[in-house]
Structure 1
Amino acid sequence: MLWLLVHDEYGLLGRGGVAREVWKLYFHWYGFLRHGSFPSGDHLWQYPPGAGPVLLSPALLPGLTYFQAFVALTLFTDAAITSVLARVGTRPGRSLRGAALWTAGLPLLLHIPLARYDVQVTAFAVMSLLTLPRSTRACGVFAALGALVKVWPALALIGTPRGRSTREAWTAAAVTAVTLLALLAALFRDPFDFLRQQGGRGVQIESLGGTVLMFARRAGWPGRTRYQYGAVEFVGPQVHTVAVCSLALTATAFALLVLWRVRARHWTPATPYDAALTAVLLFTVTSRVISPQYMVWLVGLAAVCLTAQRTTQRPVAPLVLAATAVSAVEYPACYGEVIHSTWAGCVLMLVRNGLLASAAVLSFVRLCRSGRPAPERPETDAPSRNPDRIPALFHTGG
């Protein structure tokens, strides 16, 4: 992955576009942040305030350039996730499949994970879930830290066991979030400007709605693509309708998750992990934006699920890996095909998003089935009247 990042000027690796995100855009924001201000008015800045400290973190390695320090810290975070997954996997009742999945799955995205900060965000979600059995408060703290960087880690809390565990985890998350937001608001100017930029986002070409518009374009729809809000999006008639439908699907997904939590009666140690993967899958598939780096989240959560031997998500993991591999083909290798909605680009997006949609549906169905109580065992027949045939269980003597 590191070699690919160093040599990403080749056409199939994006002609430098992947690395440019760090040394140009992130470094540009770093200039604002180190002077105590978020990038106010920048339509590309669409991240919660917690992203600021992450983008400032390369300053911890002053002997390196910003790009070098960012990549070094990302590699360190990757190693930390691998170490935690391996350590948990050696405990009784656990498995090393999670560490293996993360190690094998992340390179399927080529060099993209090293040039985005999604590995750092995923680390917060992984730590939140893996600390839950030992400390519900730590679980809430890590989830809040991740949510302040890129909202989705808050979904790690959707499967916490009912009762005291949920109260402690959610309370710790709320207190952490409020405290850190207040601190960031005191240290930086315009910490909430990102909210204005999020509202203007349209339909990205790689989203599920974008796939519909790609095929519509092949059928004669007059829309076109344009780079805006940090992504290539569709513009033209009916785009707003597709965006509204995506938001409606996201609301439906949230309602389904709430319904599952209300009706679930059976929890296992793997349920919080499974619920987190299901939730992020549903929200990713229904989002107006599905960037390739989002697959880092899903690989990380699938790895957490596989650390538990009783997980219901084992059949979902191969679908996530397959979608991850296809994502690397559509970006950066064949991104031009996707932008111009060629038949090759349409098929690529249909396959990738079809795999994601299948994974989301399968994940939710298996999660719902796991929440049903196990059927009671039928009562055993009455013991035989022949005293010689009475089982030893009923004997009182030696």
Structure 2
Amino acid sequence: MSGDVSLKIDAGRRRGRGAVSNTTSRYEPSREEIQDGWEIDEERAAFRTFVEEERPRSVITRNTSPDLPFDRSINPYRGCEHGCIYCFARPTHAYLGYSPGLDFETRIVARPLAAQVLDRELRKRGYAPAVMAMGTNTDPYQPVERQYRIMRKVLEVLRDFRHPVAIVTKGTLIERDIDILGEMAADGLVHVGLSVTTLDDETSRRMEPRVPRPVRRLKTMERLASAGIPVRVMMAPVVPSITDHEIEHILEASRDSGATAASWIMLRLPREVSPLFREWLEEHYPDRAARVMARVQEMHGGQDYDAQWGKRMRGEGFYAEIIAQRFEVARKRFGMAESLPKLRTDLFEVPLAKGDQLALF
């Protein structure tokens, strides 16, 4: 059997999760739930979250993509308990031998020593500072961060080195770190992108089951802005025929909550995300599933996804152009910028390491 076998799980076991199935990793042999032959109804346990720990040799990931405004990033976690069905990072779990489906949401890999490794990397001779991106793959403020506090420790290192950082999150736990972020913001070293995909609670709970409610995220936006931390609202992704009608409402609500910039990305369905999203559509929006996918394929030359640089983030064609125009009109109408002010890199300074002696002269 092929490596993309869909293992659909009954609704009771996946309550509070985004994916409908546990699609087999493309690098693993297919797995099936075996019946014992007795044909007796058996109650199966709900999916719990398991956390594994990883000791990385390096935590700074480099990229050369022309679609991205940064060349380096840090991901404290692999996998994400938020469970967003549209998450383009789901296929990365296959590299670990896990399913991009429910495994992505329930088998999290944490990097507890990330801050120590980062400290070592920033001290290397010849290191040249540039904006460090966080939250670009999986959310650094997902629920497990409350226990592990990896993100906070990483921020402490970046603050001590006076290193610029751009954060993307859906998690309200970022409020815990306002003390550090406010201090960095005063020096032009940080800004935050807060993702708001919809203002409708029911839609949010279906698409992103363990993400804080939209109104709660707006409150986080307000608290960050009140602390002097630059905030951008990110409508990422825009989902055709499900959230596209909310563009103007989301930008207005975000502007009123303190966001000064706005950006958007179209729904992306790379690799295993496509079949997972299709399963989810058939379960939650069977009446419009065909229409949603028709729009998606219209933007990608008849396919579910086109990975070409310059096209993958926005798509092409009439519908993509209409969304871009609507967003631009709304952004200008509400007085929001396309991006936040450029962060400073000239303040970077390597602090004394533990055990170092101050020079006497």
Give the alignment's TM-score, normalised by structure 2.
0.28
TM-score by length of 1: 0.26
Q: Which has the larger radius of gyration?
A: 1
User: Which structure: greater strand fraction?
Assistant: 2
From the two aligned structures, give the one with the greater helix fraction: 1
